[in-house]
């Protein structure tokens, strides 16, 4: 299976061109979009979502990850193998948190793109590599040090809203496991108690919960946390 995490949007025309390249070069292998609306250009935010949203997939899954403001410039293209899963994409920090948390990790630097459109390496560089890996082919790049992936200055958890979902819920960069059970969180003037899920809370009440991928998420039961609490991508919160 090939899984896309991008800031391309699905409606057009980028995801479709990448899918077409994948279906042509890896026939019969399912292609799924997991995130198509990551915050545009926000490499750091994507880096903190990546490990939590990819950990449930089977070994051998190939993730094509593209938040790539530096496309066409000197930033390298990378292949990462972390705990049996493959990751392909630009190396500007996108795989930094994945690398920090992985048990087993290797990485490779892709050769420079020659005939690629300078604004669309996802289609012309990363998709061919992902298709090859999904077919069971080997890596063609040059082995690189895992240090090249890391961003030593980044914290272990990011106390920021990284993504607003269709309900207005705010997914953050903090693993629920690092917050004591029952802790109260604070964003702006709001205090947020913990709940197990939406239906445990009266309609209209804001709360935080451990979401289905293990991250702290801020929500309002049957309401929109983004509007009601003034949250958007980048908004901070604290314990």
Per CB under 8 A, does 41 bind a copy of itself? yes
Per CB under 8 A, does 16 bind a copy of itself? yes
Whole-angstrom Cα Rg for the chain: 19
Minimum CB–partner distance for residue 233 and a copy of itself (Å): 13
Per-residue binding letters, 105-124, with a copy of itself (x by CB under 8 A): ------------xxxx--xx
Q: How many residues bind a copy of itself (CB under 8 A)?
A: 57
The answer to whether 207 touches 191, Cβ cutoff 8 Å, is: no
The answer to whether 87 touches 66, Cβ cutoff 8 Å, is: no
Rounded-to-10 torsion of CA 85, 7, 176, 225: -160
**Which segment (10-18, 105-113, 129-137, 140-148) binds a copy of itself by CB under 8 A?**
10-18
Residues in CB range of 40: below 8 A, 6 or more apart: 7, 67
Per CB under 8 A, does 9 bind a copy of itself? yes
- Chain residues 187-206 in contact with a copy of itself, contact rule CB under 8 A: 196-200
Among 142, 186, 222, 227, binds a copy of itself (CB under 8 A): 222
Residue 154 CB neighbours (<10 A): 16
Per CB under 8 A, does 178 bind a copy of itself? no
Q: Which two tokens stand for residue 88?
A: 């392909």
The answer to whether 79 touches 107, Cβ cutoff 8 Å, is: yes
- Residue 171, beta-bridge partner list: 163, 217
Among 100, 109, 146, 167, binds a copy of itself (CB under 8 A): 167
**Pick from 156, 85, 82, 75: nearest CA to 109:** 75
Complex with a copy of itself: residue 36 or 146, whichever CB lies closer: 36
Among 25, 37, 159, 233, binds a copy of itself (CB under 8 A): 37
Distance, CA of 48 to CA of 172 (rounded, Å): 8
Per CB under 8 A, does 177 bind a copy of itself? no
The answer to whether 202 touches 221, Cβ cutoff 8 Å, is: yes
Per CB under 8 A, does 84 bind a copy of itself? no
Minimum CB–partner distance for residue 21 and a copy of itself (Å): 9
The answer to whether 1 touches 62, Cβ cutoff 8 Å, is: yes
Minimum CB–partner distance for residue 109 and a copy of itself (Å): 18
Give the footprint of a copy of itself on this chain (CB under 8 A): 1, 3, 5, 7-14, 16-17, 19-20, 23-24, 30, 32-38, 40-41, 53, 56-58, 69-73, 75, 117-120, 123-124, 163, 165-167, 196-200, 209, 211-213, 222
């Amino acid at each position: 299976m090939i899984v896309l995490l991008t800031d391309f949007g699905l409606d057009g025309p980028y995801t479709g061109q990448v899918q077409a390249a994948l279906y042509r070069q890896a026939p019969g292998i399912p292609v799924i979009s997991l995130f198509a609306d990551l915050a545009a250009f926000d490499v750091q935010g994507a880096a903190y979502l990546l490990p939590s949203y990819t950990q449930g997939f089977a070994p051998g899954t190939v993730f094509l990850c593209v938040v790539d403001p530096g496309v066409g410039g000197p930033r390298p293209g990378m292949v990462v193998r972390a705990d049996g899963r493959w990751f392909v994409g630009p190396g500007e920090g996108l795989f930094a948190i994945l690398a920090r948390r992985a048990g087993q990790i290797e990485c490779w630097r892709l050769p420079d793109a020659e005939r690629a459109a300078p604004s669309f390496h996802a289609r012309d560089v990363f998709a061919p590599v992902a298709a090859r890996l999904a077919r069971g082919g080997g890596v063609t790049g040059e082995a690189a040090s895992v240090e090249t992936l890391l961003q030593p200055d980044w914290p272990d958890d990011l106390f920021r809203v990284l993504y607003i979902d269709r309900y207005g819920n705010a997914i953050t960069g903090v693993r629920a496991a690092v917050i004591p059970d029952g802790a109260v969180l604070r964003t702006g003037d709001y205090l947020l108690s913990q709940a197990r899920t939406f239906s445990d809370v009266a309609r209209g009440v804001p709360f935080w919960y451990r979401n289905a991928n293990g991250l702290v998420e801020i929500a309002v039961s049957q309401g929109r946390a983004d509007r009601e609490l003034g949250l958007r991508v980048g908004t901070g919160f604290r314990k």
